[in-house]
Amino acid sequence: MADPARLEPVTLAGHGIRLEPLTEAHVPGLRAVVADGEIHRLPFAPHVPAPEEVEGAVAGLREDVDAGTRLAWAVVREADERVVGLSTFMNLALDDRGLEIGNTYLAGSVHRTGVNTAMKRLLLGHAFDTLDLLRVEFRVHHLNLASRRAVEALGAQQDGILRAHRILPDGSVRHTVVYSILPLEWPGIRAMLDARLVRLGG
């Protein structure tokens, strides 16, 4: 098992994508990502920066990585070396061998193409097979039904709802639906993801 005191950035690759530790060099690509489908305008996605905010958002994430409170990756499609998204390990609870996969966003044009499945396969594989974690969480806005369905289709179990959990930038109140995956569930989920990627050609 990895040292629980700190997680170090690492490149993860497979299934047609590469997760690269986030750097300033990814800023232009991520500006294109958030403009692709204007995903920064989607409801329930305040974590997605507008194009002009990407540089500051990347700098903030890198500060978190340097502080040891988060890992952040740019998602690169290997076929054309295009940056197509971002994801992080966050809310690290390393003494308890747990963390959350969150702050994820993908370019609109790669939705439903298998990129998200490949990304989750790599991140969950790293969490359970390499880091030997006991719990991986996903937290979703209660009204974001598409994301809730996607997390449920992944095989994560709903733990509960944190009521009136956050006040969002627009002043609305978010109830947060908490899901998790545990090690005993991972082999079945891994097999399901691998089978899905084979069907998708990844």
Strand order in the sheet with 12-14: 12-14, 17-21, 71-77, 82-93, 98-106, 135-141, 173-181, 157-167
Q: What is the pLDDT of residue 6?
A: 85
Q: CA angle 126-49-47, nearest 5°?
A: 55
Q: What is the pLDDT of residue 112?
A: 86
Cα 101 to chain centroid distance, Å, stands at 5
CA-wise closest residue to 188 among 133, 128, 141: 128
Q: What is the pLDDT of residue 59?
A: 98
Q: What is the pLDDT of residue 4?
A: 56
| Number of residues in the chain | 202
Domain boundaries, the chain: 12-199
Per-residue CA distances from 87 to 139, 146, 187 (Å): 13, 18, 22
> Rounded to an integer, what distance in angstroms lies between the CA atom of residue 106 and that of residue 158?
23
Q: What is the CATH number of domain 12-199?
A: 3.40.630.30
For the chain, 202 residues long, the average pLDDT of each consecutive 10-residue run is 73 97 98 95 90 98 96 97 98 97 96 93 98 98 92 96 93 95 98 94 70
Structure tokens at 99: 């963390």
Cα 146 to chain centroid distance, Å, stands at 15
Count CB atoms within 10 A of the CB of residue 167.
10
Which DSSP category does 40 fall into?
G
Per-residue CA distances from 141 to 3, 43, 102, 110, 148 (Å): 32, 10, 12, 22, 8
Look up the pTM and report it. Answer: 0.94
Q: Residues near 174 by Cβ (< 8 Å), separated by ≥ 6?
A: 44, 141, 142, 165, 166, 167, 168
